[in-house]
Structure 1
Amino acid sequence: MNTIISNSILKASIKHAGAELFSLKNNQNKEFIWEGNPAFWGKHSPILFPIVGTLKNNKYTINEKEYELPRHGFARDMEFDLISSTENSAVFSLQSTAETLKKYPFEFELQLIYTLHETTLDIEYKVINKGNSKLPFSIGAHPALALPENFENYSIQFEKEEQLKYYLLENDLISNQTKTLETKNNLIPLNYQLFENDALIFKTLESNSLTIFENSKPYIKVDFKDFPSLGIWTKEQAPFICIEPWLGYSDTAENSGDLFKKEGGLVLDENQSFHSKFSIQIL
């Protein structure tokens, strides 16, 4: 099933499977979300929960018991319930089940809240701890933005002038190796060589937003002030760019396996809830 929300400028379509945004069009019917062609990458904008990235050996421990979680967790592969909607907003919910408790022994509710405001789509995450113990988690976004022109016709401008140090992945884990993106007039021209070692992973940034330019004209702005970390990724020759606001990231090779001590992760007290939001603005 799908749900569509709209206003006079934009229309967003969301699958109930994974509560995944799969289309964002303007009133000229121009599409801004990657179509999901599996020849490159068969997803559009998956939710990353209860982990972001990869665990060391895909395993972790809670109270000396070992559990296993796949890369980016399981929420993106589960069916969400639509619990409320208006013409321009929709709220989806995923609750812990007997199956999730086998691989993640915590009772939770995860809500995704989509809201259109003129030229902007807000995507809000709400995590509710419904158990009687602390809940460790990471959460992140993975929207793939469609780039219909040649990839080299696009550039990215971060909100602030800063040293753009990113971490390299090694066997899907965060390595100690870093590089720094060189900016030109505060712009980073896009090319596929940037991603020859997989995603660019920024643990921390001064910027709270970035703007994608198409042929030197503002195209899309992504605001991620609630998210301290960011991933940027594409695949060779793919006509999209993923701008991924994160709270958490992959393990390192030295990681202890204790989810409560995971670098970049969060811990939610019992009966408490957590909110974060990012937005995609069409320029």
Structure 2
Amino acid sequence: MNVTITNEFLTATINPLGAELISLKDSSNEYIWEGNPEFWGKHSPILFPIVGTLKDNTYTYEGNDYNMTRHGFARDNHFVVKERDSRSVVFSFSSNEETLKQYPFTFELELKYTLKEKTLHLDYTVNNLGDKIQPFALGAHPAFALPGNFEDYSLTFEKEEELISSQLENDLVSEKTFKIESDKNKLALSHKLFENDALIFKTLISKKITLNKLDTPFLNVNFHDFPHLGIWTKTNAPFLCIEPWQGYSDPSTSTGKLEDKEGIVLLTPGKEYNAGFSIEILR
């Protein structure tokens, strides 16, 4: 059963399957992509315990090989509601017999949604419940609805950026990069930008991106806790994903060892890792 939280400005609805945000709306607008499977059947999946794709969908840990598909398994599992009130809810998912076959670590993953005025805060906590260092990556994948002409929309980066994207080859991050032309800190959107899949920024100065329609700002994504960012859509689709990441796909030169993976977090036994981002409505 979906969970809804609300305040005087916004209403958010979350599906316990993957603790996935499926709706964020005010009195007149829906901001989250509807999930039409003709283009892409998801809304805002959690990426854990990997972000992106492993080389050969396989990694090695302590001499053993494990298989894991793109973006990990958290998005495909049911979360339980741990705490809830009218304006916030905490979802929890823990390791189990099935996850241990893919990922030999004991953990709890929490995602807290909180509405504060016109902002939805998403706060992640990873708890290492085992007795060994836990390597993981963590990411968000919210898709924002862009009705009408896609080219009416643009992005404004918080800082003036030289936009250098890593190039994907067979879903892996290659050593090749390319520069994306922009007007100082503003990037006009077009589907041509995504002909070769996602834009992947390993380093940005900005920690906030604004979505604009016809040069009018309507939404901010603030991602201070995440060092990497993906931006993606499907061909001719009326949505845009702005994806805060800790980690990204394997490079083609990957050794396959999970603890050596680029962007990986190494969490000490008994410790927790916290990160969050927020979606701020400007209308």
Q: TM-score, normalised by structure 1?
A: 0.99
Match of 2:18 in 1: 18
Match of 2:132 in 1: 133
Inter-partner Cα distance in structure 1 for 2:263 and 2:184: 31
Shift of 1:185: 4.3
On the 8 A contact 1:8/1:27 being kept in 2, the answer is no
Q: How does 1:55-74 map to 2 (within 5 A)?
A: 55-74=54-73
Q: How does 1:57-206 map to 2 (within 5 A)?
A: 57-206=56-205
On the 8 A contact 2:199/2:232 being kept in 1, the answer is yes
Q: Deviations over 1:234-260 (max 9, x none)?
A: 011100000000000000111011111
Inter-partner Cα distance in structure 2 for 1:125 and 1:185: 32
On the 8 A contact 2:209/2:220 being kept in 1, the answer is yes
Shift of 1:82: 0.5
Runs (5+) with no aligned partner, structure 2: none
Shift of 1:94: 0.2
The amino acid across from 2:164 in the alignment is K
CA-based RMSD of the aligned residues comes to: 0.6
Inter-partner Cα distance in structure 1 for 2:174 and 2:185: 27
Inter-partner Cα distance in structure 2 for 1:164 and 1:265: 23
Q: How does 1:242-281 map to 2 (within 5 A)?
A: 242-281=241-280
Shift of 1:269: 0.1
Q: Deviations over 1:199-251 (max 9, x none)?
A: 00001111011101111100110000100000000011100000000000000
Shift of 1:156: 0.3
Runs (5+) with no aligned partner, structure 1: none
On the 8 A contact 1:200/1:233 being kept in 2, the answer is yes
Match of 1:238 in 2: 237
Inter-partner Cα distance in structure 2 for 1:184 and 1:260: 39
The amino acid across from 1:6 in the alignment is T
The amino acid across from 1:65 in the alignment is N
The amino acid across from 2:16 in the alignment is H
Q: Deviations over 1:27-53 (max 9, x none)?
A: 23x100000000000000000000000
On the 8 A contact 2:160/2:184 being kept in 1, the answer is no
* Alignment coverage as a number of residue pairs: 282
Inter-partner Cα distance in structure 1 for 2:144 and 2:215: 17
Shift of 1:186: 2.2
Shift of 1:163: 1.1
The amino acid across from 1:263 in the alignment is E
Match of 2:8 in 1: 8
The amino acid across from 2:217 in the alignment is P
Inter-partner Cα distance in structure 2 for 1:184 and 1:79: 43
The amino acid across from 2:192 in the alignment is Q
Q: Flag as ranges the 4+ runs of structure 1 deviating above 6 A.
A: none
Shift of 1:180: 1.3
Matched, 1:54 2:53: yes
Inter-partner Cα distance in structure 1 for 2:125 and 2:274: 5
The amino acid across from 1:18 in the alignment is G
On the 8 A contact 1:35/1:44 being kept in 2, the answer is yes
Q: Deviations over 1:7-26 (max 9, x none)?
A: 00000000000000000010
Match of 1:223 in 2: 222
Inter-partner Cα distance in structure 2 for 1:242 and 1:190: 12
Inter-partner Cα distance in structure 1 for 2:82 and 2:109: 12
Inter-partner Cα distance in structure 1 for 2:184 and 2:20: 35
Inter-partner Cα distance in structure 2 for 1:43 and 1:79: 15
Shift of 1:181: 1.6
Inter-partner Cα distance in structure 1 for 2:161 and 2:20: 32
